[in-house]
């Protein structure tokens, strides 16, 4: 009885997850009435699509770089020496749960539209916004890694051998933290690559990332828009599996 209950629940869950995605894929192939792969061929020959992908890539990579540089050293040092400060940073990281995208967009439009920080209307705010949105996930990824790898012992060993704190961070800890950084980066990246609301609000539609272009395409050519949506699901699935792969490697290393 147990077994059947488990099977029924999992089957229902798989259906719940698969049906809308299947519906979307089916629509891209048959939306025109007959089976056709033309939405995809159109998509891949559409130069505007590729430039939107490039814009997304640039912004997401910038967000990831910002997250790595801003967050990693602080979390590492707080974990080592200042647990109270670490706790404050951890608390701050959840700010993005409190400020929803639409509110953050509203705030940025209001407060970054005049000198000295006239950033609204340009994509300059986006990396900061995405880093803020990705912060809870990035912080947890680094912390999980620090807890798992027994960073304190390595640091003490490096210090006892005469290394400075910075040298210990760059030469010993950073390579060990790599999987945590990779994991967190993937999360920040997918956050940035999928964000629509803030992009739309703060740039006023002047900067076309993939999600913005999908929105535009749905209005004009729904089939191509759907094909793009399928494309972005595939990318985010790939990213998740990449992250799981990094996690699996982390496990093996420490067994």
| Residues in 223-242 at the binding interface with another protein, rule: CB under 8 A | 225-226, 229, 232-233, 236-237, 240-241
Position 50 contacts another protein (CB under 8 A): no
Instruction: Report, in Å, the least distance between residue 99 CB and another protein.
Output: 6
Number of residues that bind another protein (CB under 8 A): 76
> Rounded CA gap, 221 and 91, in Å?
43
- d(C-alpha 252, C-alpha 234), whole Å: 27
Contact 163, 172 (CB under 8 A): yes
Largest CA distance in the chain: 72
CB of 51 to another protein, least distance (A): 19
Minimum CB distance to another protein, residue 153 (Å): 20
**Contact between 66 and 124 (Cβ < 8 Å):** no
Instruction: Give the shortest CB-165-to-another protein separation in angstroms.
Output: 7
User: Rounded CA gap, 141 and 125, in Å?
Assistant: 24
Which residue of 22, 44, 50, 254 would you call a contact of another protein, by CB under 8 A? 22
The residue (of 149 and 189) whose beta carbon lies closer to another protein is 189
Residues 201-220: x where in contact with another protein by CB under 8 A, - otherwise, as a string: x---------x--xx--x--
Nearer to another protein, 47 or 84 (CB): 84
Q: Kindly indicate which of the ranges 2-10, 34-42, 47-55, 145-153 contains the residues binding another protein, using the contact rule CB under 8 A.
A: 2-10
- Minimum CB separation of residue 72 from another protein in Å reads 10
Nearest to 21 by CA among 237, 240, 254, 255: 237
Give the whole-angstrom CA distance, residue 61 versus residue 67.
10
Please answer whether residues 7 and 209 qualify as being in contact, where contact means their C-beta atoms are separated by less than 8 angstroms. no
150 token code pair = 């027994």
252 lies in the site for another protein, by CB under 8 A: no
Residue 192, burial from CB neighbour count under 10 angstroms (0-12, 13-18, 19+): buried
Q: Are 145 and 214 in contact (CB under 8 A)?
A: no
Query: With respect to another protein, which residue has the nearer C-beta, 48 or 107?
Result: 107
Q: Tell me, residue by residue from 103 to 132, as one string, x for binding to another protein by CB under 8 A and - for no binding.
A: xxxxxxxxxx---------------xx-xx
Contact positions with another protein (CB under 8 A) in 152-191:
165, 190
Kindly state the smallest distance separating residue 225's Cβ from another protein, in Å.
7
Instruction: Give the torsion sign (CA, 238, 205, 58, 182).
Output: negative
Which residues, numbered 65-104, are part of the site for another protein (CB under 8 A)? 69-71, 73-74, 77-78, 81-82, 85, 89, 91-92, 94-104
Indicate the DSSP class of residue 196: -
Establish if 60 lies at the interface with another protein (CB under 8 A).
Answer: no
By residue count, the chain amounts to: 255
């Amino acid at each position: 009885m147990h077994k059947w209950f488990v099977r029924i629940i999992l089957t229902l869950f798989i259906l719940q997850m698969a049906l809308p995605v299947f519906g979307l894929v089916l629509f891209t192939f048959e939306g025109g009435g007959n089976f056709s792969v033309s939405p995809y061929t159109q998509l891949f020959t559409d130069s505007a699509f590729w430039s939107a992908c490039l814009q997304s890539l640039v912004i997401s990579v910038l967000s990831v770089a910002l997250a790595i540089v801003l967050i990693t050293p602080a979390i590492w040092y707080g974990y080592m020496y200042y647990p109270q400060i670490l706790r404050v940073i951890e608390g701050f990281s959840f700010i993005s749960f409190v400020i929803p995208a639409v509110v953050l967009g509203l705030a940025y439009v209001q407060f970054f539209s005049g000198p000295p920080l006239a950033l609204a209307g340009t994509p300059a705010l986006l990396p900061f916004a995405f880093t803020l949105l990705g912060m809870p996930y990035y912080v947890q990824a680094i912390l999980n890694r620090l807890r798992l790898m027994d960073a304190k012992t390595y640091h003490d060993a490096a210090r006892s051998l005469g290394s400075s704190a910075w040298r210990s961070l760059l030469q010993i800890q950073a390579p060990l933290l790599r999987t945590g950084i990779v994991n967190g980066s993937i999360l920040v990246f997918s956050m940035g690559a999928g964000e629509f609301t803030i992009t739309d609000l703060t740039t006023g539609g002047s900067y076309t990332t993939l999600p913005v272009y999908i929105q535009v395409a749905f209005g004009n050519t729904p089939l191509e828009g759907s094909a793009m949506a399928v494309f972005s699901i595939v990318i985010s699935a790939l990213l998740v599996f990449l992250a799981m792969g990094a996690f699996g490697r982390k496990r093996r290393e420490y067994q």
